[in-house]
Amino acid sequence: MEIFFNYINTGNYNLARTSLNNLPNKELKTELNIFLDIVHLGIFPKNYKKSNSKNPFSLQNNISTLNNGLYDYLKKGNEISAFKIFKKSLEIAKKRNDKLLIRESIKFILEIYERFNMMIEDTSYKYFINECKKNTTNTLDNQICTFYEYRITQRYFYRTPEEIKNYYVKANKFIDKSSPEFLKAKLDLTNSAYHQLVTKDIDSSHIYLTNSINILKNLDGYFENERLQAAIINNAVLQFKKGLLQKSEISLNNIKIKKDGYLFKLLRTYLHFWKYKLYKTKGDSTKSLYYYNKYLINELKNNQAKNLQIVSEYETKFQTAEKEKQILIEQQKKKRNQNIAIGLGGSLFLGSVIAILIYRNTKRKQRIAEQEREIEIQKTEKLLREQELTAIDAMISGQEKERQRLANDLHDNLGSTLATVKLHFDHLKNNRNNPKVENIEELYSKTNNLLDEAYQKVRTIAHEKNSGVMAKQGLLPAVRNLAKKASNGNRLQIEVQDYGLNERLDNALEISIFRIIQELITNTIKHADASEIGISLTNHDSLLNIIVEDNGKGFNAKVLPEKDGMGLKSIEKRIEHLEGTFEIDSTIGKGTNIIINIPI
């Protein structure tokens, strides 16, 4: 499948067809051939019916849903129905975790967005751009996503150049000579529109347009042919805008759009509009009115089926235009203006009502979502506080047990040795001048050996106090338990990694480090909107390195935010008290890294 769609996206349609020869699944092969016939030859099956696959989430059903969307869009011209079907294809592909068909479904959704005429400053397409970027697997996928982002942003925000410039630079840097020819041609065509509408540099626009036409003339495919016709019309439009009216008239009249399908109907409407503009500028009112009439008819057919009666009345009046041209023109203009005013007024009222309802509903959902988020944060904070108390209780209990063990060792082990030494010294003291007592030298030697033994036992107890207990009962398991309790299914995952923590640290230091890590996790949950947190603890050359990183929204690291609790500034002062270092690396929109080094 990857090979088949790679051939499609690079314009190698014959190789794509050849790649299906050895496909064993006949039903799937049929659906893929239908898909190829549409995008390559513009051939649509008669009365296309969706696949009857028993599994709604099968590969065959996914391809069939794509074909159904293409049929409604390119053949029937039903953009709304096609949009819903492509979204259904996207849902199926997501269920199957099929990144390839996720991208293909999004690509055709973006094709619809690219050709919407009345979506100025709409931003809903950005969701699909982000989904496209998240499911890329190679350079070509990234180039395609980058192109659509540039193209659609330009189409919707051409009145605000600052919104477009960055996308213009990014797309022209990312799409290079190695990119597929059709992608380069579409980029040139979009660059031409950029210079025509944004920079007003008609000469640069013409250079890009010429490049695009030269590439498209040598390409084969339904979409390629549609873009070639669009480029040729735009070339005539540029001639018109340069004031070359005679050349523009010849170019526009030489354009013959023979192919069927919705996209080519849109091009015919576009062609009639510019013929109307041309003849209006030349002062030819008869031809101007004729093409304006054809433009309105096609525009209403394509976008406003409910106005069919208005179109019919307008067409009837136009038939008598040659007899009473001047009077009829004025009457038609007046009626048309009235209809437009009524239509605009009704649309404005309806749009206002809908906008108010949508705004209220959105605000209500935002309030509910914010309340749910606050509840979730409170639950998490409570859990963290309980975990903190549990960890501290465990550490204090460990300290008490350690003290009890030391007391037992001193009493049972070292105490008996020292008692024996005392007996030897008392015996030596009482008999130091008694010549009858034998083995005085031997008694001195034994006493000396017992003192050495007591000294070694003291050293052993001190060593066990500082390094004899493994970290299974100290800081590391407490942090792991904290991460486990704070993790929240798919919404938040916390991972802990360690290296070199084979020995337990001083209890007071462990508690301080645990409190710091806990507060950093709490701050991340409350403020970062992160889905992943990573905690790394590394012991290297008597230096404990702690890294806490997340994929949240980030912040300006130059100004540390002061929040409830310890706050980042308080954490920094605590680390300074431990003679450690504290560093923040945060980028807005990309997450935060906090690096801590503490001597141990």
Mean pLDDT computed over every residue of the chain: 82
Q: What b/e string do you get for 313-324 counting C-beta neighbours within 10 Å, with b at 16 or more?
A: ebeebbeebeee
Q: What are the contacts of 465-469 at 24+ separation with CB within 8 A?
A: 465/402, 465/406, 466/506, 467/503, 467/504, 469/402, 469/503, 469/504
Dump pLDDT digits (tens) for 233-291: 999 999 999 999 999 999 999 999 988 888 999 999 999 999 999 999 999 888 888 88
Mean pLDDT of 467-477: 57
SS3 content of the chain, % helix, strand, coil (to 5): 70, 5, 20
Which among 52, 96, 47, 50 has a CA at the least distance from the CA of 69? 50
Which among 48, 47, 51 has a CA at the least distance from the CA of 62? 51
User: DSSP string covering 111-132, please?
Assistant: HHHHH-SS-TT--THHHHHHHH
Q: What is the pLDDT of residue 564?
A: 43
Q: Among positive and negative, which fits the CA dihedral 420, 426, 427, 429?
A: positive
Edge to edge, what strands does the sheet with 543-550 contain?
A: 493-499, 532-540, 543-550, 591-599, 581-587
Q: Is the pLDDT at 392 greater than 80, yes or no?
A: no
3-class DSSP assignment, residue 418: helix
Determine how β-strand 493-499 pairs with β-strand 532-540: parallel
pLDDT-wise least confident of 49-58, 544-553, 590-599: 49-58
DSSP 8-class letter at 586: E
pLDDT-wise least confident of 67-76, 387-396, 452-461: 387-396
3-class DSSP assignment, residue 241: helix
Q: What is the pLDDT of residue 118?
A: 46
Q: Please enumerate in sequence order all residues whose Cβ is within 8 A of that of 467, keeping only pairs 6 or more positions apart, or say none.
A: 503, 504
Count the Cβ atoms, other than its own, within 10 Å of residue 598. 19
Q: What is the pLDDT of residue 469?
A: 35
Count the Cβ atoms, other than its own, within 10 Å of residue 512. 19
Backbone angles phi, psi at 91, to 5 degrees: -65, -40
Tell me the two tokens of residue 527. Answer: 């403020």
CA distance 505 to 181: 63
User: Tokens 């390094």 correspond to what residue?
Assistant: 467
CA distance 508 to 518: 15
pTM of the model: 0.51
Say what percent of the chain tops pLDDT 70.
82
CA distance 136 to 181: 20
Q: Which of 25-34, 349-358, 516-525: highest mean pLDDT?
A: 25-34
Residues 397, 403, 405: CA angle, nearest 5 degrees = 105
Which among 12, 37, 39 has a CA at the least distance from the CA of 222? 39
Mean pLDDT of 453-457: 76
CA distance 483 to 480: 5
3-class DSSP assignment, residue 537: strand
Q: What is the pLDDT of residue 319?
A: 40
Give the side-chain half-sphere CA count within 13 A for 433.
0
Backbone angles phi, psi at 200, to 5 degrees: 60, 25
Contact 515, 482 (CB under 8 A): no
3-class DSSP assignment, residue 546: strand
Q: What b/e string do you get for 542-566 counting C-beta neighbours within 10 Å, with b at 16 or more?
A: eebbbbbbbbbbbbebeeeeeeeeb
CATH of 470-600, one of 3.30.420.40, 3.40.50.720, 3.30.565.10, 3.40.190.290: 3.30.565.10
**Region of residue 579 (phi > 0: left; psi between -120 and 50: alpha; otherwise: beta):** left
CA distance 155 to 114: 7
CA distance 229 to 271: 10
Q: Is the pLDDT at 150 greater than 90, yes or no?
A: yes
Q: Is the pLDDT at 316 greater than 50, yes or no?
A: no
Greatest CA separation for the chain: 159
- Give 306's pLDDT tier (boundaries 50, 70, 90): very low
Count the Cβ atoms, other than its own, within 10 Å of residue 199. 14
Which among 591, 488, 594 has a CA at the least distance from the CA of 537? 594
Q: Please enumerate in sequence order all residues whose Cβ is within 8 A of that of 10, keeping only pairs 6 or more positions apart, or say none.
A: 140, 180
Delimiting residues of CATH 3.30.565.10 domain(s) in the chain: 470-600
Residue, of 25 and 325, whose pLDDT is higher: 25
Backbone angles phi, psi at 545, to 5 degrees: -100, 125
Q: Among positive and negative, which fits the CA dihedral 60, 63, 66, 70?
A: negative
Q: Is the pLDDT at 147 greater than 60, yes or no?
A: yes
Residue, of 323 and 10, whose pLDDT is higher: 10
DSSP 8-class letter at 71: I
Mean pLDDT of 112-127: 70
DSSP E strands, 489-559: 493-499, 532-540, 543-550
Residue, of 225 and 310, whose pLDDT is higher: 225
Q: Is the pLDDT at 310 greater than 50, yes or no?
A: no
Mean pLDDT of 223-233: 94
Q: What is the pLDDT of residue 126?
A: 87
- Give 53's pLDDT tier (boundaries 50, 70, 90): low
CA distance 147 to 294: 33
Q: Is the pLDDT at 16 greater than 70, yes or no?
A: yes
Q: Is the pLDDT at 124 greater than 70, yes or no?
A: yes
Residue 221 is inside which H or E element, if any?
A: none
Mean pLDDT of 112-139: 79
Mean pLDDT of 522-546: 89
3-class DSSP assignment, residue 583: strand
Dump pLDDT digits (tens) for 75-108: 988 888 888 999 999 999 999 999 999 999 999 9
Q: What are the contacts of 292-301 at 24+ separation with CB within 8 A?
A: 293/318, 295/269, 298/265, 298/268, 298/269, 298/272, 299/269, 301/265
CA distance 551 to 21: 45
CA distance 43 to 40: 8
Residue 302 is inside which H or E element, if any?
A: helix 285-303
